[in-house]
Chains A and B, each alone.
Chain A
């Protein structure tokens, strides 16, 4: 088993590309559970697009990665795929389930990352995320795995990624270059010959796909920039609310009324305490509404663009597959399987 053709190697480079799938927002299907858990669905959906962009920025600041892209949906065999689910997110606490797997099917990490923030962590700058440490911890763990790999393994992962991509587009040609082990790991069975014209075509097509995906990624960055001010305010307010409610509970529950039981003063105090506690809880609903009013139009517009681009890419795939099958038939005289 030898290395890929020189052209193929040249087109790859030494670093792994990272695909960050838009996070699973973690919204329960059961509406009662959403209400019980204090989940605002529209905010969660925005967070699911915003958070991968933060992680992308942190990874890009780290040396040693190739292109880092946010993906709307699972693409064929990214060299390293990072997926995430939002387990909990409010102004005080962020909890993410993060999973990373390379193209060879090796799991790099599958862990929960958590962080806490206090109102003082909110500096008012969209550039400073109060939970930056959470993303830095994920990046550090990914870096640790990557550093253990060595150049040869990195290169193999890249070869496997390319051949998985090739097999998806032209299964008749590249379907038997890889084998899948019992544990689901991909292993190289053999390699295309040097200068294999079909592989050259595949590499060119993949480059075209990357250009598409870069446009999609740019949309996510734009969305992230657009929602950052409102989103940071939302988290800051909700953190302040939570602190206020805790303080309020401590203050009120430790207070002893001097008013005579049954008197208006006593009754008013009891009612107003309840009323205030509810008003503060309901303020979050109003803030969520404010967030939605502000962010939803931008989010919908950008989601529409991403959807169109993804749809275009899907059509493009179909066309590419047809063309490659025709070329395969011309070159080999064999009729491709349907």
Chain B
């Protein structure tokens, strides 16, 4: 695993932003406000068809955007794969976010954490044998970009309003087998973990230990 500094001009992201939002807290998925995946699929298919028609009309390619059971680019299996993967990545129902000036950790239920560091005012790019990760601010939005092997890339964009009551997480996935990315917007509502008479914390020798008393 290695880290490197990524130049700002190439990424469009920056380590500091005057309008950086505060995402810290607990968030739960609002299914009603979030995208309906099937509707987004319909949009994708329609756009792929339109794109193919435009290409066909301009003599750049064959007619038909989505080729069911086809073997090539934009075939049904690839589009389905793109959609299913995006849906899988964006399924997280709960987020827990710790944020300070230098570090942000987004804990996602059933997935790895998204983390971002800005210790020396530069963007840190995490390189591993399995992919690379870059994150930074784009004005008030926090952007995470993952570049994975096999032409797969994933971008998460987090946005919140001034009231910090809601958080939008926009997940966009691209593969080199489909000519358009697929995007799902998820909306989360802030919630306060229940006020309880006990608190729990992780320990090494005794596992999770809960004690009574004020939080």
Contact = CB atoms under 8 A, between A and B. Distances in A.
A31 B101 CA distance: 12
B129 interface: yes
B14 to A, nearest CB: 16
A32 B15 CA distance: 13
A263 B150 contact: no
Contacts of A249: 129
Interface string A259-301: 0111111111011011111110110001101110110000000
A267 B129 contact: no
B130 A277 contact: yes
Contact of A279 (B112, B176, B202, B209): B112
B141 interface: no
A63 interface: no
Interface string A17-35: 0000000000000111001
How many residues of B sit at the interface, in one of the four size bands? 35 or more
Nearest to B83: A264
- State the majority secondary structure of interface residues on A: helix
A36 interface: yes
A290 B202 contact: yes
B149 A270 contact: yes
Contact of B204 (A263, A282, A294): A294
A229 interface: yes
A267 B152 contact: yes
B133 to A, nearest CB: 8
A277 B148 CA distance: 12
Nearest to A252: B130
Contacts of A173: none
A36 B3 CA distance: 7
A233 interface: yes
B124 A290 contact: no
A268 B204 CA distance: 32
Interface in B146-202: 146, 148-152, 154, 175-178, 201-202
21 contacts: A31-B102, A32-B120, A35-B3, A36-B3, A229-B205, A233-B204, A237-B204, A261-B151, A261-B176, A262-B75, A262-B81, A262-B175, A262-B177, A264-B77, A267-B82, A271-B85, A276-B112, A277-B129, A287-B204, A293-B209, A294-B206
Interface of A: 30-32, 35-36, 229-230, 233-234, 237, 249, 252-253, 260-268, 270-271, 273-279, 281-282, 286-287, 289-291, 293-294
